[in-house]
């Protein structure tokens, strides 16, 4: 018998993730505040629901993909209070990227009610969400992690247990801080080469075979025209927005403050992306984060 998933939050990432659950044979109750997102989910084979509490009735899993920690806490605890109506046999997987403290609060409240919860933030962006090749970083017990893989395998290619509840969020924050650092550094190095007469494609090939090789060069080159099918070659449309990268860098700073960690390069990356967002008299927050290249470019 097919398992049923309640999917809460059907934005750019959640819509593709929910569709992949349908393709894997799950029954999916889909809920979102945006009518257009509900229609897209219905077109993908989900059952659209007009109420989050109805969506979770009798389900085996709940997956949420929400914008921030305040909303996550509101959905589960303070506003909709889904924790009060979720079946005791269900597993909750929150795939939102939020502060570890938010995840831990939801986890504690879930445990008080005899419910099972994991935080499972994702890496990979919109294209990976649609393709089902996301990476999931999970925080929770070993037993809940093994159960969560039943659902996560349908949406991702790489699934890791980082530790107990909240650990998934810490891993995601660390990963995206490093991503911001090497993307901004890659853009800076490429622009230095361009300004000194080098072909960015040739320079990219050289660095890929040298000690400067990194993911941004290999998979996501920030210079337009160097690599096909990446946002830089589509006017920086699609992908992972600058605003979302700034959100994650803010979470990294909060985590660093809480643990008294030193993150000078993370702080520098945050400043650079914020400068880029507000440069040139326009808000570039909706562009892909590889558009940091434009901060350095003279064009």
Is the sign of the CA dihedral 73, 79, 84, 88 positive or negative? negative
- Are the C-beta atoms of 216 and 240 separated by less than 8 Å? no
Q: Chain centroid to CA 182: how far?
A: 18
Q: Tokens standing for 184?
A: 């901004």
The pairing of beta strand 122-123 with beta strand 134-139: antiparallel
- Are the C-beta atoms of 290 and 220 separated by less than 8 Å? yes
Catalytic residues: 172
The pairing of beta strand 47-48 with beta strand 27-31: parallel
Residue 76 is classified by DSSP as I
Q: Where are the alpha helices (DSSP H) in 46-123?
A: 52-55, 69-73, 100-112
In terms of Cα–Cα distance, which of 215, 267, 209 is closest to 240?
A: 215
**Cα-flanking dihedrals φ and ψ of residue 96, to 5°?**
-65, 155
Rg (CA), the chain: 20
Q: Tell me how far apart the alpha carbons of residues 193 and 268 are, in angstroms, rounded to a whole number.
A: 22
Q: Tell me how far apart the alpha carbons of residues 13 and 240 are, in angstroms, rounded to a whole number.
A: 10
């Amino acid at each position: 018998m097919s398992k049923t998933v309640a999917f809460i939050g059907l934005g750019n990432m959640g819509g593709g993730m929910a569709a992949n659950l349908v393709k894997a044979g799950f029954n999916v109750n889909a809920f979102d505040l945006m009518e257009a997102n509900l229609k897209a989910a219905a077109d993908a084979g989900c059952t659209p629901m007009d109420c989050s509490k109805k969506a979770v009735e009798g389900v085996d899993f709940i997956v949420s993909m929400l914008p921030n920690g305040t909303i996550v806490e509101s959905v589960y605890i303070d506003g909709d209070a889904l924790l009060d109506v979720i079946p005791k046999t269900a597993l909750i997987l929150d795939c939102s990227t939020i502060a570890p403290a938010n995840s831990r609060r939801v986890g504690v409240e879930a445990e008080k009610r005899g419910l099972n919860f994991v935080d499972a933030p994702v890496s990979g962006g919109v294209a990976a969400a649609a393709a089902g090749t996301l990476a999931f970083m999970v925080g929770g017990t070993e037993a809940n992690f093994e159960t969560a893989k039943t659902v996560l395998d349908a949406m991702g290619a790489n699934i890791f247990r980082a530790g107990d509840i909240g650990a998934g969020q810490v891993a995601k924050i660390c990963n995206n801080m490093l991503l911001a650092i090497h993307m901004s550094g890659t853009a800076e190095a490429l622009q230095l080469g361009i300004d000194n007469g080098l072909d960015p494609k040739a320079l990219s090939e050289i660095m890929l075979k040298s000690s400067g090789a990194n993911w941004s060069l290999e998979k996501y080159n920030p210079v337009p025209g160097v690599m096909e099918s990446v946002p830089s070659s589509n006017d920086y449309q699609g992908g992972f927005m600058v605003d979302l990268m700034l959100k994650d860098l803010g979470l990294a700073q909060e985590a660093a403050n809480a643990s008294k960690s030193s993150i000078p390069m993370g702080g520098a990356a945050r400043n650079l992306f914020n400068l880029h967002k507000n440069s040139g008299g326009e808000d570039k927050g909706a562009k892909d984060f590889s558009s940091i290249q434009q901060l350095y470019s003279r064009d």
